């Protein structure tokens, strides 16, 4: 069986370098929101202190369970989500980040934010990576923060904002992959013009971010073509709505937490098509899936 080759990269972060390619890295999702699309939000309305304690415990369990990166996010980007200000975002995020960093100083921490002020504060508190779902579109101050800090960047492709997605014009089947490729090329060009080093960037095609239903399956089908951009790739398919649509005839009305098997299948497909990193809710399942996929790629024994 022939699978897509996966190039090796050295991803430059704020204080260290991660080698990408020899094996799939697992990024654990820690949602510090009361309204996560996936139902895993850890900060509850009216009891943020208890939520923070639970979030710290969840993040530490992910690190101890083998996650290579822990990605903390304090603002929901589900369709029609209410935007969160940077100040409130930091109230949710920074105590958790600081506690996890203090307990596991060697853990690689990422912050899922498009707010430059939050990114700056999180990097000062120990984060190594900024995961910007807007692709540097929603806060003009973000590139300067990244350049000054030397942080790693996950640069995502998105179309519009969460409030637009439910009514957004669908892409023609033949337009899905070209739209993402062209969009990522433009975003990379912009980032480099702002002074970001190519070695600091990982690209994410943004499953579910301005892509509706089966458009995401077409994107996954063409994932291998993203390697032509010349950057390492991240796949974030975990519990996404398009998976629920694909299995609706088997499991109608199932909640997001029941999409584990569909997520695992999609993760394996992405890895065999060239993904260097998978961003997931379920760390152990992802590690096992990656071990099999990496073995098929002939990299199962590499570290």
The pLDDT score that the predictor gives to residue 256 is 83
Is residue 301 in some structural domain? no
Say how far apart CA 281 and CA 53 lie, in whole Å.
18
Confirm whether 20 is domain-assigned. Answer: yes
| Matching residue, tokens 């806060």 | 139
* In a domain? residue 2: no
Q: What is the pLDDT, as a whole number, of residue 254?
A: 75
pTM for the structure as a whole: 0.93
The residue segments making up the domain with residue 164 are 9-296
Alpha helix (H) ranges present in 15-124?
Answer: 48-64, 86-103, 116-124
Question: What is the number of domains present in the chain?
Answer: 1
Residue 121: which CATH number? 3.20.20.20
Rounded-to-integer distance, Cα 137 and Cα 71, Å: 20
Measure the CA–CA gap between 221 and 162, rounded to whole angstroms.
24
Residue 286 in any domain: the answer is yes
Tokens of 114: 């498009």
Q: Which two tokens stand for residue 196?
A: 């970001």
* Residue numbers annotated as active site: 240, 279
Backbone angles phi, psi at 203, to 5 degrees: -105, 140
**Are the C-beta atoms of 162 and 112 separated by less than 8 Å?**
no
Q: Hey, is 149 helix, strand or coil?
A: helix
pLDDT of amino acid 13: 98
Place of tokens 């239903």: 213
- The residue with tokens 């369970």 is 65
Does 1 fall in a domain? no
Is residue 4 situated within a structural domain? no
Using the structure block, give the residue that is written with the tokens 């190519």: 198
Q: Is residue 3 part of a domain?
A: no
Helices (H), 125-258: 142-149, 176-193, 215-221, 241-246
Task: Specify the pLDDT at position 242.
Answer: 95
Please tell me the predicted confidence (pLDDT) of residue 49.
57
pLDDT tens digits, residue range 268-288?
999 999 999 999 999 999 999
- Determine, yes or no, domain membership for 282: yes
| pLDDT tens, per residue, the chain with 303 residues | 579 889 999 999 999 999 999 999 999 999 988 744 444 445 544 455 557 888 999 999 999 999 999 999 998 776 666 677 899 999 999 999 999 999 999 999 999 999 999 999 999 999 999 999 999 999 999 999 999 999 999 999 999 998 888 889 999 999 999 999 999 999 999 999 999 999 999 999 999 999 999 999 999 999 999 999 999 999 999 999 999 999 999 988 878 888 999 999 999 999 999 999 999 999 999 999 999 999 999 864 344
CA distances from 291 to 223, 285, 303 (A): 20, 10, 11
Nearest alpha carbon to residue 84 among 73, 95, 94:
73
167 CB burial (10 A radius; 0-12, 13-18, 19+): exposed
Query: What is the model's pLDDT at position 86?
Result: 92
């Amino acid at each position: 069986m022939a699978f897509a080759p996966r190039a090796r990269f050295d991803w430059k972060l704020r204080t260290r370098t991660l080698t990408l390619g020899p094996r799939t890295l697992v990024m654990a999702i820690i949602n510090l929101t009361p309204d996560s699309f996936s139902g895993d939000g850890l900060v509850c309305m009216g009891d943020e202190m208890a939520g923070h304690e639970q979030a710290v415990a969840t993040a530490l369990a992910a690190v101890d369970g083998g996650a290579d990166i822990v990605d903390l996010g304090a603002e929901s980007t589900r369709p029609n989500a209410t935007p969160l200000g940077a100040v409130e975002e930091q109230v949710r995020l920074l105590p958790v980040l600081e506690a996890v960093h203090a307990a596991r100083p060697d853990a690689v921490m990422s912050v899922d934010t498009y707010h430059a002020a939050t990114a700056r504060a999180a990097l000062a508190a120990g984060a190594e990576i900024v995961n910007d779902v807007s692709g540097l579109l929603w806060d003009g101050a973000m590139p300067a923060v990244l350049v000054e800090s030397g942080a790693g960047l996950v640069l995502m492709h998105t179309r519009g904002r969460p409030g637009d997605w439910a009514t957004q014009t669908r892409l023609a089947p033949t337009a899905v992959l070209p739209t993402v490729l062209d969009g990522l090329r433009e975003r990379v060009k912009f980032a480099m013009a702002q002074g970001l080093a190519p070695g600091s960037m990982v690209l994410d095609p943004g499953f579910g971010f301005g892509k509706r239903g089966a458009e995401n399956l077409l994107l996954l089908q063409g994932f291998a073509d993203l390697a032509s951009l010349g950057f390492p790739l991240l796949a974030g398919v975990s519990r996404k709505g398009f998976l629920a649509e694909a299995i609706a005839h088997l499991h109608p009305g199932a909640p997001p937490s029941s999409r584990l098997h569909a997520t695992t299948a999609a993760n394996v497909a992405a890895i065999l098509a060239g993904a260097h990193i998978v961003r997931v809710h379920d760390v152990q399942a992802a590690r096992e899936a990656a071990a099999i996929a990496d073995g098929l790629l002939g990299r199962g024994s590499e570290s």
